[in-house]
């Protein structure tokens, strides 16, 4: 397996763990009535905005740990791959797929608001579309590197 494929697997694992822990914490707080008195619009915005730095920090930590682990595994000779045009094309294709996933989630969230569903549903759809966006990016990169383009 190549460096890029292993990196994608590490990022997928990190993303799933972060979203699972974040979702579990939010669910437990919701079940205990922590959000009962809060304004739902402000609360949803705060929770989604807090997710962004949490996800960024987790990706940074994952890349640091991945690089350290890879360096230890190859006995100190990291031999990092050079980024070429193929890598940039793969990133662009993955970003396009992620944009489609997030766009679909955004329109579903707005559609739920247009149908007068609870605001919680719209924020849940946005939360899941952010998760789908991150996962689809890494899966697409893994798939394209596995295919060779």
Q: Distances in Å between the alpha carbon of 97 and those of 64, 68, 84, 148?
A: 26, 30, 21, 18
Q: What is the mean pLDDT of residues 90-115?
A: 94
Q: Distances in Å between the alpha carbon of 139 and those of 35, 106, 113, 125?
A: 34, 21, 30, 20
How many domains does the chain contain in total? 1
pLDDT band at residue 142 using 50, 70 and 90 as cut-offs: very high
Any idea which residue has 């679909």 for tokens?
104
Interval 17-52: pLDDT, tens: 999 998 888 888 878 877 777 777 787 788 888 888
pTM: 0.81
Q: What pLDDT is stored for residue 78 in this prediction?
A: 61
Q: What pLDDT is stored for residue 17 in this prediction?
A: 93
Report whether pLDDT(139) > 90.
yes
CA 113 to mean position of chain CA atoms: 24
Any idea which residue has 């694992």 for tokens?
13
Q: What pLDDT is stored for residue 79 in this prediction?
A: 64
Q: How many CA atoms lie within 13 A of 107 on its CB side?
A: 5
For residue 101, the enclosing domain spans 3-147
Q: What pLDDT is stored for residue 50 in this prediction?
A: 87
In this structure, the number of other CB atoms found within 10 A of the CB of residue 32 comes to: 9
- pLDDT cut 70: percent of the chain above it: 96
Q: What is the mean pLDDT of residues 109-134?
A: 90
């Amino acid at each position: 397996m190549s460096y890029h494929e292993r990196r994608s697997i590490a990022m997928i694992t990190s993303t799933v763990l972060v979203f699972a822990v974040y979702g579990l914490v939010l669910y437990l707080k919701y079940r205990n009535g922590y959000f009962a008195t809060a304004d739902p619009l402000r609360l949803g915005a705060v929770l989604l905005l807090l997710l962004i730095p949490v996800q960024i920090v987790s990706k940074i930590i994952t890349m640091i740990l991945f690089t350290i682990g890879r360096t230890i595994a190859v006995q100190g000779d990291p031999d990092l791959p050079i980024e070429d045009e193929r890598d940039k094309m793969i990133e662009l294709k993955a970003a396009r797929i992620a944009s489609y996933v997030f766009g679909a989630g955004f329109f579903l969230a707005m559609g739920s608001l247009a149908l007068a569903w609870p605001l919680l549903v719209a924020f849940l759809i946005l939360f899941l579309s952010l998760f789908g966006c991150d996962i689809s990016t890494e899966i697409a990169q893994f798939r394209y590197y596995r295919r060779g383009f």
